[in-house]
Amino acid sequence: MNKEILPLPDKNGIIKALPIDISRENMQRIKKFGAFMFLYDFAQDRFVRPCIHKADPKKHREILKNLISSVKNSRVFDIACGTGGAITYFDRSNEYTGLDLSYSMLKQAVKKAKKKSFQKSRFIQGNAEKLLFDDESFDFVLMDTALHMIPEYHMAIAEISRVLKKGGVFVCSTPVVGISKKFDFTWKKISDKRDLHSFYEADIQDACSRNGLIYIRFNTNGGVLYFHAQKRK
Ligand SMILES: C[S@@+](CC[C@H](N)C(=O)[O-])C[C@H]1O[C@@H](n2cnc3c(N)ncnc32)[C@H](O)[C@@H]1O
Angle at 221 between CA 218 and CA 223, to 5 degrees: 110
Model confidence, pTM: 0.96
Q: Taking a C-beta distance cutoff of 8 angstroms, is the pair 95, 75 a contact?
A: yes
Buried b (16+ CB within 10 A) or exposed e, 65-104: eebbeebeebbbbbbbbbbbbbbebbbeebbbbbbbbbbb
Indicate if ligand 1 lies below 6 Å from the C-beta of 29: yes
Q: Which of 102, 127, 157, 225 to mutate to test the pocket of ligand 1 (most atoms within 8 A of CB)?
A: 102
Residue nearest to atom 16 of ligand 1 (CA): 150
Indicate if ligand 1 lies below 6 Å from the C-beta of 144: yes
Q: Which residues contact 180 (CB under 8 A, 6 or more apart)?
A: 54, 220, 222, 223
Rounded to whole angstroms, how far apart are CA atoms 61 and 194?
Answer: 25
pLDDT for the residue numbered 1 = 44
Residue nearest to atom 9 of ligand 1 (CA): 85
CA of 129 to the centre of ligand 1 (A): 12
Count of beta carbons in the 10 Å neighbourhood of residue 23: 13
Of ligand 1's atoms, which has the minimum distance to the CA of residue 33? 25
Query: Residue 182: phi, psi to the nearest 5?
Result: -60, -45
Q: Taking a C-beta distance cutoff of 8 angstroms, is the pair 28, 149 a contact?
A: no
CA of 152 to the centre of ligand 1 (A): 13
Indicate if ligand 1 lies below 6 Å from the C-beta of 124: no
Residue nearest to atom 13 of ligand 1 (CA): 80
Domains delineated in the chain: 14-231 (3.40.50.150)
CA of 195 to the centre of ligand 1 (A): 14
Reading the chain (233 residues) residue by residue, the pLDDT tens digits are: 446 678 899 999 999 999 888 999 998 888 887 776 778 899 999 999 999 999 999 999 999 999 999 999 999 999 999 999 999 999 999 999 999 999 999 999 999 999 998 989 999 999 999 999 999 999 999 999 999 999 999 999 999 999 999 999 999 999 999 999 999 999 999 999 999 999 999 999 999 999 999 999 999 999 999 999 999 99
Indicate if ligand 1 lies below 6 Å from the C-beta of 82: yes
CA of 214 to the centre of ligand 1 (A): 24
CA of 41 to the centre of ligand 1 (A): 13
CA of 81 to the centre of ligand 1 (A): 6
pLDDT for the residue numbered 21 = 87
Of ligand 1's atoms, which has the minimum distance to the CA of residue 152? 19
